[in-house]
Structure 1
Amino acid sequence: MNFPHLFSPLQVGPYRLQHRVVMAPLTRMRADRSSFAPRPLNAEYYAQRATPGALLIAEATPVMVTGRGNPGTPGIYSEAQIAGWRGVVDAVHAKGGLIFLQLWHVGRVSHSSFQPGGALPVAPSAVAIAGNGMLAMTAGGKMVPYETPRALETDEVGQIVEAFRQAADNAKQAGFDGVEIHGANGYLLEQFLQSHTNLRTDKYGGGIENRARLLLEITEAATRVWGADRVGVRLSPYGIANGSGEDDPMPLYTHVIKALDQLGLAYLHFIEPRSSGAGRAEVNWQNVPSAMVLFRPHWRGVLISAGGFTGETAEAAIAAGHADAIAFGRIFISNPDLPRRLRDGFPLTPYNRATFYGGEAAGYTDYPVYDGMATA
């Protein structure tokens, strides 16, 4: 067998995984366009990638209407969406798989066309995403400059916490096995964490402890719904997606990780900096720090790492103790039977980036398993 560490069992909260190949959360924009509820096509996609005792992390899912920033992304704030996700979860469970839902609010990475009444997107502070080539997607799919968001009032921040708590409860109603809090990739929770996007002077701004408050309050709210051992958190300390990036990530993320470590969570999930985290382009940084190596000493629980791994580098990371499991994204899109291909040394099908977002079955459910491929 290839990769003995990668294909050894792992305990994640109450769940015993048969191997350590995790499906990363991947935005695909294929929910129903009117209700934003998952469809049977989505259930088929996830079921194709489910195997007994394996963990899938479902795509980033807005917890409220104001948290939307892309067309066709599924929500978890309505009865129709709960019902749609129940179909996905049932299909994964029928294959013996486990599935967590990633809870999401995009904050300033939105556009007024997604917002009720055409209002401005919300954020910790009125700081727009700027920079060469930085464009927002509208509800109609056009690319336009980002708008300057509206800063949330202090009492509205409490409403965000409640929205995440309710979304965690909704995910439980849908039958998920747990939830992951999306604190990465320049979205709302990371906007609160980082000093250049959080200019607040209330209890959610200023020093590191205050900037970390929202992420910790939301995580604790989710643990009250699920129990800590069914809640994970995703972070990208050295990421640059969506205008993110802290000048010196070590003090901020050391504080955050140490605080999360006290909660007894199911896992911590890092995006390594060699991955763009936003899926719009290939990124292969050289000589960048490794989040899993730097922050592993501050985290006693299960650590999942993601970002451009191969079977070889995944095996090496686990063997070295830097991570306990590896989340694969793009190659899981094009290889629904990825764990088996890695384990048995089968060749991988290349992915087609043009079909990542939107559309129907093409580039979504039509990738073959290895046994179904024509042989030369």
Structure 2
Amino acid sequence: MTTASLWQPLTVGRLDLPHRLALSPMTRNRANPDGTPGEHTATYYRQRASLGLLISEGTQPSEDGQGYFATPGIHTSEQIEGWREVADAVHEDGGHLFIQLMHAGRISHPDNTPHHRQPVGPSAISAEQDIHTPRGVEKTPVPRELATEEIAGVIDEFRQSAASAIAAGADGVEIHAANGYLLHQFLAPNANQRTDEYGGSIENRARFVLEIAQAVADEIGADRTGIRISPAFPLGGLEEGDAGAVRAQYRYLVGELVPLNLAYLHVHHLGDDELLRSFREMWPTALLVVRYGRDRDAIAADIDAGLADMAPLGRFALANPDVVERLRTDAPLNDADPATLYTGGANGYIDYPTLAHA
């Protein structure tokens, strides 16, 4: 049984939202080979427009940013046109779209990218992760360390792709600084062993993320810019140290983000409630919190505890296009089919039944 707190309206940046639910970003591997959204993408997001704030799947800001095959970009004119169709569909059904800007960094493979080049990263250290490619499962290779003089160009890719998202009709963007990808790699000591101003100290390891956030906010407006973090999440082979080290890194990062007055902070939370509480105390705008493994009765727990303003939904929303209605009426939920999460096509993507069709 969901609590009344979920159904209170909330303003996030420029958006007036009807409730506290949102669509969490989820990679679905349904893009076309040229990085344009796939044929069913507009339908997929339209079906979930009642969630109010829809955060898209990870979308690469450049060819170098692609990690997985069949993922979309937002850096060519064709990709902008493809996302315009998605944004229009979401708006027609009353929702709002933020496109998540995701540079995969070292979590990539040459077989998955259009140029087949070596991945880039903060340091030439392999993630040693299995990754699916068109030829099967491979190991992520050793990335090429970004030269100091290249970093400004990567920051500009984020700025330009944010502008492209707005040109496509999106309501804003989410900067992906979480889940083992490039920005998170710069934060993690075992992936970032640089000796320039982007490595070493807490302040230096945060610099890249902060400069991207500043550039994007300057380009499209802070009230159209969100950011996602995942403190201590070990995805992608990252290690961020003990609880004290993680708290020091992320309290510094979030504290430096505060003056930007971004639309929201999105925390993929592993369970350090003391750290989350400190974010709540310092963060001036909306705080989104998602945890692995929540059941439906726990969706509003962080909101009720005063630790969050919104509760993004992942698999509940993936398997239930009408999840808002189902939660509001305490109706049963469809289960997500793991076998079709990343298989392409309509099956397991746009064919989950609504209550009206059940």
Q: Which is further off, 349-358 or 295-304? A: 295-304
The residue type equivalent to 1:328 in the other structure is L
Residue 102 in 1 paired to residue 87 in 2?
no
Distance 1:246 1:95, change over 3 A: same
The residue type equivalent to 1:25 in the other structure is P
Q: Paired residue for 2:112?
A: 114
**Paired residue secondary structure (1:6):** helix
Q: Paired residue for 1:63?
A: 61
Structure 1 residue runs of 5 or longer lacking an equivalent are 274-287
**Paired residue secondary structure (2:44):** helix
**Paired residue secondary structure (1:349):** coil
Distance 1:88 1:226 in 2: 19
Residue 340 in 1 paired to residue 339 in 2?
no
Return the offset for 1:116: 5.7
Distance 1:115 1:352 in 2: 27
Q: Paired residue for 1:16?
A: 16
- 2:307 is aligned, of 322, 334, 345, to 322
Residues 43-64 of structure 1, C-alpha deviations (whole Å, 9 max, x = no match): 000000002x710001100000
Q: Paired residue for 1:303?
A: 287
8 Å CA contact 1:2–1:344 kept in 2: the answer is no
Distance 2:355 2:333 in 1: 8
8 Å CA contact 1:72–1:358 kept in 2: the answer is no
**Paired residue secondary structure (1:372):** coil
The residue type equivalent to 1:364 in the other structure is Y
What does 1:48-197 align with in structure 2 at a 5 Å threshold? 48-51=47-50, 54-115=52-113, 117-130=115-128, 134-138=129-133, 140=134, 142-197=136-191
Distance 1:29 1:349 in 2: 21
Residue 38 in 1 paired to residue 37 in 2?
yes
Return the offset for 1:158: 0.8
Return the offset for 1:115: 4.5
Q: Paired residue for 2:26?
A: 26
The residue type equivalent to 1:335 in the other structure is N
Distance 1:135 1:224 in 2: 37
The residue type equivalent to 1:16 in the other structure is D
Residues 1-29 of structure 1, C-alpha deviations (whole Å, 9 max, x = no match): 94210111011012111001100011001
Residues 187-234 of structure 1, C-alpha deviations (whole Å, 9 max, x = no match): 000111111111111111111111111111111111112111110000
**Paired residue secondary structure (1:47):** helix
Return the offset for 1:114: 3.2
Q: Which is further off, 305-314 or 215-224? A: 305-314
Distance 1:311 1:21 in 2: 12
Residue 249 in 1 paired to residue 246 in 2?
yes
Distance 2:206 2:169 in 1: 30
Distance 1:90 1:118 in 2: 33
Return the offset for 1:39: 3.1
The aligned length equals 353
Residues 154-190 of structure 1, C-alpha deviations (whole Å, 9 max, x = no match): 1111110010000001001100000000000010001
8 Å CA contact 2:189–2:239 kept in 1: the answer is no
Residues 237-295 of structure 1, C-alpha deviations (whole Å, 9 max, x = no match): 0211111231131100000011111110100001122xxxxxxxxxxxxxx42353353
Distance 1:271 1:85 in 2: 25
8 Å CA contact 2:251–2:278 kept in 1: the answer is no
**Paired residue secondary structure (2:157):** helix
What TM-score results when the alignment is normalised by the length of structure 1? 0.91
Return the offset for 1:310: 3.3
Return the offset for 1:92: 0.2
8 Å CA contact 1:254–1:298 kept in 2: the answer is no
Distance 2:21 2:299 in 1: 9
What does 1:226-375 align with in structure 2 at a 5 Å threshold? 226-247=220-241, 248-273=245-270, 288-290=271-273, 292-308=276-292, 309-373=294-358
The residue type equivalent to 2:188 in the other structure is Q
8 Å CA contact 1:54–1:98 kept in 2: the answer is yes
8 Å CA contact 2:63–2:115 kept in 1: the answer is no
Residues 281-330 of structure 1, C-alpha deviations (whole Å, 9 max, x = no match): xxxxxxx4235335322322210011233332222211111000001111
**Paired residue secondary structure (1:323):** coil
**Paired residue secondary structure (1:371):** coil
Distance 2:350 2:187 in 1: 36
Distance 1:228 1:63 in 2: 18
Distance 2:285 2:198 in 1: 27
**Paired residue secondary structure (1:258):** helix
Identity across matched positions, percent: 43
Structure 2 residue runs of 5 or longer lacking an equivalent are none
